[in-house]
Structure 1
Amino acid sequence: MLYHAYEMTHAAVQPLRAQSDALRYLCRSAFSPVAYTPVGKAVAAACEVFENVTRRYRKPEWGIDETKIFGLPVAVEPEVVHSKLFCDLLHFKRDETAETGKRYDPKVLIVAPLSGHYATLLRGTVKAMIPEHDVYVTDWRDARLVPAIYGGFDLDDFIDYVMEFIRFIGPNTHVIAVCQPSVPVLAAVAAMADQEDPLQPASMTLMGGPIDTRRNPTVVNELAASRPLSWFEQTVIHAVPFPNPGALRRVYPGFVQLSGFMTMNLERHMEAHAGLFRHLVAGDCDSVEQHQTFYDEYLSVMDLNADFYLDTVKTVFQEHALPEGRLMHRGKPVDCRKIRKTALMTVEGELDDICGLGQTEAAHDLCTGIPIDDHYHYVQPGVGHYGVFNGTRWRTEIQPRVREMIRTTQFKRNIQAKPAQVIRRVSAA
């Protein structure tokens, strides 16, 4: 019923939005005397804020159509190269006819979180990687748009998707998991190692992921552990209403997730919108644009399939199945000790209030089969959860370290694959 009430509220507010739009136009029109008065500017600003907080935010565009390689502009085109029911595999294809020509950069699969926001949240992550890497991204589909007749999607399916995408991209793939996917990515790599799969990834980078939430538990971790699974099923799981394509599918609705995100820092969000009002009145276009850019992404959320959400709460946050060695995938135990051919890097933010310090680093204690010189760990001072994969610190301090690890791993693999050839090249140089 909550989902139906949400949809009805959106429908009921439409007449108010239409009136607000008309009033905003009146108070902004160059032909209206009111537009030049303090009252007119304040009313127009209030209508703009009202529009922002009441409209439904759709999936944002990637907006990545160009990058720079050696200072030269190179066109980029996102293309779907592999499609699954709940996810598309996007490839950010760089123009090989540009002056830089065809490049043989390391192949990187960025596994976006399936935790409410769209994969476009990683726009900054992708932009920083594209110039020197052949980038693929998991673009998860809104569960509200998948007809219920096609069945569910759970944690086992997520792990299967990761393995299938790695195999599709091919040998020497480097995997980067951002936040929530750290657990299924680690499980997928362990499953591939157990199968002695020849396409095991060359490296995996886990960034701000909940590998072991018992270490420095955050408010989010404590909430997930303090309630029985039945409480989550009864409280936050709802059926998608008609006329959505996924009608009757059980989901964790995006608007419920967004409510949780907002209440964690409610005062900050209220102040941000109060600041938007002041900037609109003052005509500070740069500040308004920054606010709009952030919230267009932040307020765009999607529904999660109920099976996947409940599996994650139970397995990751309540039972701690992976660090305790009890995680199962398709009836087989997941043993991270089997991983021997994949380098491991973990990245954490000093001020992360979603995944506390040490939660991601715990992966190193599980992956004892990886050679010691293939273990990498980095803590970025002064950043929270979002800053681990986006923003200035990501571009200038974290990404260069990930880049170095990828190239070091790639070099080691080349030596192991063709030792004589590499030695001859070094000697000739």
Structure 2
Amino acid sequence: MKEPFAWDHYSDQPAIIRDRALKRKMRRSALPSLIKTFLIGLLTLPIAVFAIPFLQRRDIKGEEFFGMGVNLDKEPHVTPYLLNELGVQKLLIRIPLWEIEQLDKYVTFIRSFEGKQITVALLQDREHIMSASMSRDHFIQIFEALEGVCHTFIIGSTINRAKWGFFSVNEYLDFYSIAYDLKCERFPHLKLIGSQVIDFEYHFSAHTLFNLKKIRYDALGSLLYVDRRGAPENTQLGFNLVEKIRLLAVLAQMSSKTGGEVIITETNWPIQNTAPYAPTSETECVDEETYASFMVRYHLLAFASQHAACVYWHQLIAPGYGLVDNREGTLRKRSAFNAYQTMFRHLSDAEFIGYGEKRGRHTFLAKTPRGLLHVEWLISGTLEVPLAHSVEGTFRDGEAFTADTLTLSPSPIYYFTSLDDL
């Protein structure tokens, strides 16, 4: 008899359903929920789009904005040193529920990051979705094992992809309810992040936010990838990245299920010539230099939205999409590692002032203890910009410069002027 589940070693995913007849049966049973998802999205999304101009800006500061994903199975002994080199304080660590027998190893790994702010993502498989008692038991084990170490948990992931086990939003709501009931009954101090829709498919997000389930999210999570659109400034259905985040924020504020906090729990770009480790086809992959620039620009745009409370980059070490490549038993820092380190150094204590684009020139402004920070870039090409006086700045990867003429390109540059220029 053919096994309906098989392990995919390269995608960090649970065992996925291989039996086609079983898949068809599950999809048919999910049809009422899918119809509900369509109708809820049809009703709420136009209202949310109309409300975007009236959305009040939140006060998102750099000190809470930057986060990094790390994994137990990717160089756990070296990871703390790399993180200290980067400077990032907020970490996202994934615990697959199907690896509950290794919980002690995960707890030891999490405890190794003393002084860091830890968020734990609990990943599902089909067995846990189908068995409420199993999920409840394993949630309890994890919550108790991490008592005093971590109080923030992401419940479920990638809920709108059947290969991750969910065939409908209703199934996800039942799954999340198990964790939420435990929070109400036994673990009131926990912060639970929910929804966890991947990509710009907000009709699924709307269904997680507008339903009759007695649940509440302490924050709304989103795996907001834009890699299939190319550059982070590119649009999809007329929405750029800033507008996508604001639309999700409007939905969250419209809902009684959450207080309105939005967290981007996962995003990245796949890297060329890393098959089979890249999570997409070669068509979507970019070279390492483009990856580094896209990463910085994604963070700048998300920060400029002033509605993404945190962005967790996915992730520190991974051959196909990480800041560090660990193939062939060696560690190689990509240029993105230096780019992230430079970005964090400049923006981790920044207060957003403004962002704009004029004739292809993108400018991000922030107040810092070192003065008025300018970050500038182009989507393509180069542009020489003469300045009234010489400035000191930093190229994307950390090399310092002093110049009275800026050479703008797709690689962001940082420079400072006096706060009196405001």
- Is TM > 0.5 for Structure 1 vs Structure 2? no
Higher relative contact order at CA 8 Å, sep ≥6: structure 1 or structure 2? 1
Q: Whose strand fraction is larger, Structure 1's or Structure 2's?
A: 2
TM-score by length of 2: 0.27
TM-score by length of 1: 0.27
- Structure with the greater alpha carbon radius of gyration: 1
